Amino acid sequence: MSGEQSIAERFRAKFGVKPHVYRAPGRVNLIGEHTDYNDGFVMPAAIGFYCWVAAGPRKDRKLVISSEEFLEQIETELGKESLQRSGSWSDYSVGVAAQLEKEGFELSGANLLIHGEVPIGAGLSSSASIEVATCIALAEESGLSIDRTRLARICQQAENEFVGMRCGIMDQFISLHGRTNHALMLDCRSLEFELVPIPESVRLVICNTGVKHKLAGGEYNRRREECEEAVRSLAKALPNVRALRDVNREQLEKHRGLLSEVAYKRALHIVTENKRVLKGMEALRRGDLLQFGGYMADSYVSLRDMFEVSCAELDLMVELANRERGVYGARMTGGGFGGATINLVDAHCAAGFAENVSKAYQEKTGIACATYVCMPGEGASRVESAEEAR
Ligand code: GLA
């Protein structure tokens, strides 16, 4: 279904001209959860599921966006005032156009056909993939050259302001900067990053719980507020603290009395998680997968008990994973409250692992469990030839 050729053909059938085709991947996060909006460290990888955007020029200044998933087409006039939030799927794309214009980039009118293959609600960043694919398409079709880190910020801003989800920068950043067979260690304050090779001897196995609890969006913003509350309280004693990134464990314990119980728990997760990412990077560099897997396990426990973003289905999926052979580490990935787990599994055991976990999960819950055995993929790009498409 997907692929440059087919989406290009479908675009031509609809709009009568040959388009350019762009694609942007979803992501999985290996470690460093909820740390991005605390100016901390994360280590995601791009995955081989993409949002595809076929784009062609228009003579007027309209943006016509057609979604193959939602079987819907929207039409809007470019220009800051006319781009309005509608509360639907198109906000991710229109929001990006609005943000580009807000930052002074003049866009040309365009027809866009969007095909998303990143599973929605699985915690694999289908929204960032739509934003990024739209953003590179609009920028390139308008003849603008914008560096990738700026594009990531534009997409994040669009989601924060237009969609109303106060996400950090991780998802958009990895969708733009991901590299095949590498995880990316990002300092979310400086936006400096380092690519870390994933050994050929392992696979990333993603297990989708198939549930997305309704509270996800609201609870996410709430966690962010609780972290901000912790910063405000700690800053009374430690005036140099701008974000939880600036706090170490000793300081947190020393000033625990300034924090509510909830704010303390949230801060404890962030402070320890940042450490785990940095130590995890060293372990991966040494090829010490057991050690890295141990940090993944600790990350999960902290997310479950301190940050409180897990749920029964994720807990079960992690428990089932830990019973299997060849597993280095298992944890929930993404914002939480449903979605998927990420498992680092010996390459020889990966297929059996996926089959066993999926079967056991379905037996216990009655919910079908999709699994993906993969290695990190490449970041967003324009698709130049049919060979690049799948
Ligand atoms: C979502 C957000 C990210 C990040 C993760 C949690 O995916 O979009 O910015 O905060 O949750 O790590």
Q: What is the pLDDT of residue 191?
A: 98
Closest CA to 185 of 367, 30, 339: 30
Dihedral, 260, 266, 270, 273 alpha carbons, nearest 10:
130
Angle at 181 between CA 309 and CA 360, to 5 degrees: 45
Q: What is the pLDDT of residue 80?
A: 63
Structure tokens at 243: 């974000």
CA nearest ligand 1 atom 10, residue: 34
Alpha-carbon span 148 to 146, nearest angstrom: 6
Summary mean pLDDT of the chain: 95
The residue to which tokens 């980039």 are assigned: 105
Structure tokens at 37: 């909006």
Grade residue 1 by pLDDT with cuts at 50, 70 and 90. Answer: very low
Grade residue 81 by pLDDT with cuts at 50, 70 and 90. Answer: confident
Q: For residue 385, give the DSSP letter.
A: S
Helix (H, G, I), strand (E, B) or coil at 188: coil
Whether 47 contacts 115, CB under 8 Å: no
pLDDT at 215 over 90: no
Whether 117 contacts 161, CB under 8 Å: no
- Told to judge if 171 belongs to the known catalytic residues of this protein, a careful annotator would answer yes
The residue to which tokens 């409250």 are assigned: 337
Give the 3-state secondary structure of 211-272. Answer: EECCCHHHHHHHHHHHHHHHHHHHHHHCCCCCCHHHCCHHHHHHCHHHCCHHHHHHHHHHHH
The 10s digit of each residue's pLDDT in 217-269 is 789 999 999 999 999 999 999 999 999 999 999 999 999 999 999 999 999 99
Helix (H, G, I), strand (E, B) or coil at 59: coil
Task: Give residue 189's identity as a one-letter amino acid code.
Answer: R
Q: What is the pLDDT of residue 353?
A: 98
- Mean pLDDT of the region 164-176: 96
Residue 170 near ligand 1, beta carbon < 6 Å: yes
Task: Give residue 238's identity as a one-letter amino acid code.
Answer: L
CA 366 to chain centre: 27
Whole-number Å distance, alpha carbon 32 to ligand 1 midpoint, is 10
- Mean pLDDT of the region 174-198: 98
pLDDT at 286 over 60: yes
Atom of ligand 1 at shortest distance to CA of 36?
A: 10
Residue 26 near ligand 1, beta carbon < 6 Å: no
CA distances (Å), 210 to each of 71, 131, 333, 365, in order?
23, 23, 13, 10
Whole-number Å distance, alpha carbon 347 to ligand 1 midpoint, is 27
Alpha-carbon span 34 to 217, nearest angstrom: 13
Alpha-carbon span 290 to 49, nearest angstrom: 28
Task: Give residue 255's identity as a one-letter amino acid code.
Answer: H
- Residue percentage of the chain with pLDDT more than 90: 89
Grade residue 390 by pLDDT with cuts at 50, 70 and 90. Answer: very low
Closest CA to 284 of 183, 138, 360: 183
Atom of ligand 1 at shortest distance to CA of 34?
A: 12
Whether 337 contacts 213, CB under 8 Å: yes
Which of 35, 155, 170 most suits a substitution to test ligand 1, by most atoms within 8 Å of the C-beta? 170
Grade residue 385 by pLDDT with cuts at 50, 70 and 90. Answer: low
Annotated active-site residue in 36, 39, 91, 171: 171
Tell me the HSE value of 57 on the side-chain side, using a 13 A CA sphere: 8
The 10s digit of each residue's pLDDT in 11-49 is 999 999 999 999 999 999 999 999 999 999 999 999 999
Looking at the DSSP assignment, which residues form a beta bridge with residue 330? 343
- Residue percentage of the chain with pLDDT more than 70: 96
3-state helix, strand, coil in the chain (%, to 5): 45, 25, 30
